[in-house]
Amino acid sequence: MEFGIIGLGRMGGNMARRLGRKGIRIALYNRSREVSEAIAAEAGHLACGTLEELVAALQAPRIVWLMLPAGAATEDAVATLLPMLDAGDLLVDGANAYYKDDQRRAGLLAARRIDYADAGVSGGVWGLENGYCIMFGGSDAAAARLKPYMEALAPSPTAGWLHTGPVGSGHFVKMVHNGIEYGMMQAFAEGFALMKNKPGFDLDVGAIAELWRHGSVVRSWLLDLSADFLAQDPTLESIEPFVADSGEGRWTAFESIEQGVPTPVMSLALMMRFATQGKNDYAAKMLAKMRQGFGGHAVKEA
């Protein structure tokens, strides 16, 4: 056993389960020991109570795979693990992270002769059954060591995973992937809103979503998911109109500015998420007051 996963949330936990189903036994650590033990019992893995215990359980040279939130949680884990790892070990950040952080960490670990790879993983809660799409950056040696795990995690041994290039490239590709995802989701949302609100036609948006799944040029997994929930509740009246944003959308916008490459669809999709979070409320109030000021238009009181 040379492979360990740290962080067993929705994605990390299901990745551990999928490896277990493929007959690969690994070590697990989660902040909540109960989670580690439950997944270990289910998948045939080894639950560890501390990071030290996980590192000690792995045969050198080790592969330690992080599935932690970007930022402080990952930085703290890397700092804690650094003195525990040996030359020749491989540390992988398999969660969502900013690619420039990967490049910085790789330099830090290289001084200790510890290899580093960054893996962008897509597949969501369906990855356990369908397999994950994995794009990872790192050295050729790291890619060779990760290959059997990629083959097990992906939809098939020959499809759904790619060594994209040097450190940072995996998370860069995943960042762009998620920026595209933002734009696709926004386009679907806007289109269905137009149909739902069209007076006189009484359009069945659930039936239309199902229709488009068959032969249409806009058919996709996002459309499949939309058809499923619209068939159950086409009004969505119980859903609060609030959409969170993760780091990838913001990082994609930063990259667009840095490169000077226009990405209006992806950037505007990010702005629309900000609007749902109440961050447009003050601006809307300003607009209402300006309109009242020059035209005497009524203002709706809160």
User: What is d(CA 124, CA 299) in angstroms, rounded to the nearest whole number?
Assistant: 43
User: What is d(CA 163, CA 146) in angstroms, rounded to the nearest whole number?
Assistant: 10
- Give catalytic status of residue 147 as yes or no: no
User: What is d(CA 10, CA 121) in angstroms, rounded to the nearest whole number?
Assistant: 12
User: What is d(CA 2, CA 7) in angstroms, rounded to the nearest whole number?
Assistant: 17
User: What is d(CA 95, CA 69) in angstroms, rounded to the nearest whole number?
Assistant: 7
Neighbour tally for 140: CB within 10 Å: 9
Q: Active site residue: 174, 198, 237, 279, which one?
A: 174
User: Do 250 and 274 touch, CB atoms closer than 8 A?
Assistant: no
End-to-end Cα, the chain, rounded Å: 61
Closest CA to 31 of 69, 61, 57, 64: 69
Helix (H, G, I), strand (E, B) or coil at 1: coil
- Give catalytic status of residue 255 as yes or no: no
Q: Active site residue: 37, 75, 181, 210, which one?
A: 181
Q: Return the active site residues.
A: 174, 181
